[in-house]
């Protein structure tokens, strides 16, 4: 983790997962862990790809990290990153062992929701994981007795410590685990994905042979995405948006064809750029464009479907570093095309 000395003696909670997407439930568990386990900080370990999940519907790593950082905000004791890219690990056990080698004096605790306990037996080396790091399982709606009666908790039942002793968990030698009957939070990444409109997948693809319209080509909508991008670029230029970057996502993402990142000099300008963009696209027949983040004006997102637009003030843009996260993702995937467009200065 950037900025963490190798000889740190901090008590650190590790919350790993796909974060597809990150939500308030993840933040809730982190805050409960900081308080209930007497931790110095919590690290969110965003996985490039969960080995137990298909990549269908999985947003790009850069997007998931950026969303997680947005949920966390500027909380001083919660860090978000994707260390598996650097560690070269894929499975939780390997990641935990690598972090323990890197930070030999740190006291780590693995954090999880109780709904994950029944899935532990499907994890590679789950018994070794119990023997490598203390584990804290936090109550989730509907998951108390069903979780505790699962195979993994039963196999390590004699190593369970009482919730009243949870503040000692980070100092316990593994195997040691604890069930935390904390205040429940009902947020769910699965539920969030379920209510999101699914992006059309086919662009000029042939209908399968068993179809009644065998061999017919579906319409190619790539030109429509290009036209939409041109409208977005024109609107940003009209409002004097700065440092515009266009990232080509075609073939790399299921949620959009292009990501556009731009800056405004002030909160007011950021909000104005986003509102004008939504109005212009609506007038152009593009329908309603959801805009999020106008309350603060630090980071505003406009979802135009095939083009997703992020508008920042300079400081938050540097902090969230979407371009940097795309560069990290490109170490394990094909590099998207990024074109930086600088607005020409007008003559004095």
**How many distinct structural domains can be found in the chain?**
2
Statement to judge: residues 176 and 235 lie in one domain: no
Edge-to-edge strand list for the sheet holding 242-248: 291-292, 299-303, 307-312, 258-263, 242-248, 338-341
Statement to judge: residues 90 and 187 lie in one domain: yes
What is the C-alpha separation between 223 and 203, in angstroms, rounded?
Answer: 10
pTM: 0.63
Q: At 252, which CATH number? A: 3.30.460.10
Statement to judge: residues 139 and 281 lie in one domain: no
pLDDT at 182: 67
- Backbone phi and psi for residue 283, each to the nearest 5 degrees, phi listed first: -65, -25
Q: Which of 140, 172, 191 is the last residue of a domain?
A: 191
Instruction: Give the residue among 288, 237, 290 at the shortest CA–CA distance from 264.
Output: 237
pLDDT at 109: 98
Question: Which residue, chain included where needed, has tokens 């908790």?
Answer: 153
Statement to judge: residues 56 and 107 lie in one domain: yes
Tens-level pLDDT at each residue, the chain (348 residues): 878 999 999 999 999 999 988 888 899 899 999 999 999 999 999 998 766 665 667 888 888 888 898 888 889 999 999 999 888 898 999 999 999 999 999 999 999 988 899 999 999 999 999 999 999 999 876 666 678 889 999 999 999 999 999 999 999 999 999 999 865 444 444 444 344 444 444 444 433 444 443 443 434 445 688 999 999 999 999 999 999 999 887 766 656 788 899 999 999 999 999 999 999 999 998 888 888 778 778 888 888 888 989 999 998 888 777 777 665 555 444 444 454 555 555 554
Statement to judge: residues 138 and 73 lie in one domain: yes
Instruction: Give the residue among 336, 329, 312 at the shortest CA–CA distance from 244.
Output: 312
- The answer to whether residue 86 sits within a structural domain is yes
Statement to judge: residues 187 and 226 lie in one domain: no
pLDDT at 141: 67
Statement to judge: residues 232 and 186 lie in one domain: no
- The answer to whether residue 208 sits within a structural domain is no
- The answer to whether residue 30 sits within a structural domain is yes
- The answer to whether residue 22 sits within a structural domain is yes
Is residue 162 helix, strand or coil?
coil
pLDDT at 214: 40
- According to DSSP, residue 54 is labeled -
Statement to judge: residues 256 and 307 lie in one domain: yes
pLDDT at 298: 84
- The tens digit of pLDDT for each residue in 206-261 reads 334 444 434 434 344 456 889 999 999 999 999 999 999 998 877 666 567 888 99
Domain with 250, as residue range(s), is: 222-341
pLDDT at 230: 94
pLDDT at 56: 63
Statement to judge: residues 171 and 39 lie in one domain: yes
- What is the number of alpha carbons within 13 Å of residue 183 lying toward its C-beta? 9
Retrieve residue 337's tokens: 């095309």
Q: Which of 146, 175, 191 is the last residue of a domain?
A: 191
What is the C-alpha separation between 261 and 322, in angstroms, rounded?
Answer: 8
pLDDT at 329: 54
Q: Which of 170, 191, 212 is the last residue of a domain?
A: 191
225 to 88, 256, 335: CA distances (angstroms)? 35, 9, 20
Statement to judge: residues 186 and 248 lie in one domain: no
- The answer to whether residue 348 sits within a structural domain is no
- The answer to whether residue 101 sits within a structural domain is yes
- Backbone phi and psi for residue 304, each to the nearest 5 degrees, phi listed first: -100, 20
CB within 8 Å of 277: residues ≥ 6 apart: 232, 235, 236, 239, 289, 302, 304, 309
Q: At 126, which CATH number? A: 3.40.50.620
Statement to judge: residues 185 and 233 lie in one domain: no
Statement to judge: residues 106 and 22 lie in one domain: yes
Task: Using CB atoms within 10 Å of the CB of residue 346, give its burial: 0 to 12 exposed, 13 to 18 middle, 19+ buried.
Answer: exposed
- The answer to whether residue 139 sits within a structural domain is yes
What is the C-alpha separation between 304 and 287, in angstroms, rounded?
Answer: 9
- The answer to whether residue 205 sits within a structural domain is no
């Amino acid at each position: 983790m950037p900025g963490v000395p190798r000889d740190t003696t901090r008590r650190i909670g590790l919350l790993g997962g796909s974060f597809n997407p990150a939500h308030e439930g993840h933040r809730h568990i982190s805050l409960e862990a900081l308080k209930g386990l007497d931790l110095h900080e919590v690290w969110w370990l965003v996985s490039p790809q969960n080995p137990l999940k298909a990549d269908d519907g999985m947003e790009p790593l850069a997007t998931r990290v950026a969303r997680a950082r947005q949920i966390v905000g500027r909380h001083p004791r919660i860090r978000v990153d994707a260390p598996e890219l650097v560690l070269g690990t894929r499975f939780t056990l390997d990641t935990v062992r690598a972090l323990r080698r890197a930070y030999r004096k740190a006291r780590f605790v693995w954090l999880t929701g109780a709904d994950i306990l029944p899935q532990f037996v499907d994890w590679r080396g789950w018994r070794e994981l119990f023997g490598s790091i203390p584990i804290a399982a936090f109550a989730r709606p509907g998951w108390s007795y069903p979780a505790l009666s699962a195979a993994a908790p039963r196999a390590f039942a004699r190593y369970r410590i009482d919730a009243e002793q949870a503040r000692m968990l980070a100092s316990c030698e593994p195997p040691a685990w604890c069930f935390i009957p904390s205040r429940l939070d009902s947020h769910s990444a699965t539920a969030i994905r379920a209510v999101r409109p699914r992006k059309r997948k086919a662009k000029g693809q042939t209908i399968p042979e068993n179809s009644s319209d065998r061999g017919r080509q579906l319409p190619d909508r790539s030109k429509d995405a290009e036209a939409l991008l041109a409208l977005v670029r024109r609107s940003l230029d009209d409002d004097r948006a700065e440092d515009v970057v266009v990232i080509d996502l075609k073939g790399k993402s299921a949620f959009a064809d292009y990501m556009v990142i731009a800056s405004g000099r002030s909160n007011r300008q950021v909000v104005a750029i986003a509102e004008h963009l939504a109005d212009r696209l609506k007038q152009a027949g593009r329908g309603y464009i959801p805009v999020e983040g106008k309350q603060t004006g630090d980071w505003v997102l406009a979802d135009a479907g095939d083009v997703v637009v992020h508008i920042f003030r300079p400081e938050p843009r540097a902090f969230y570093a979407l371009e940097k996260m795309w560069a990290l993702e490109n170490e394990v995937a094909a590099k998207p095309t990024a074109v930086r467009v600088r607005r020409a200065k007008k003559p004095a």
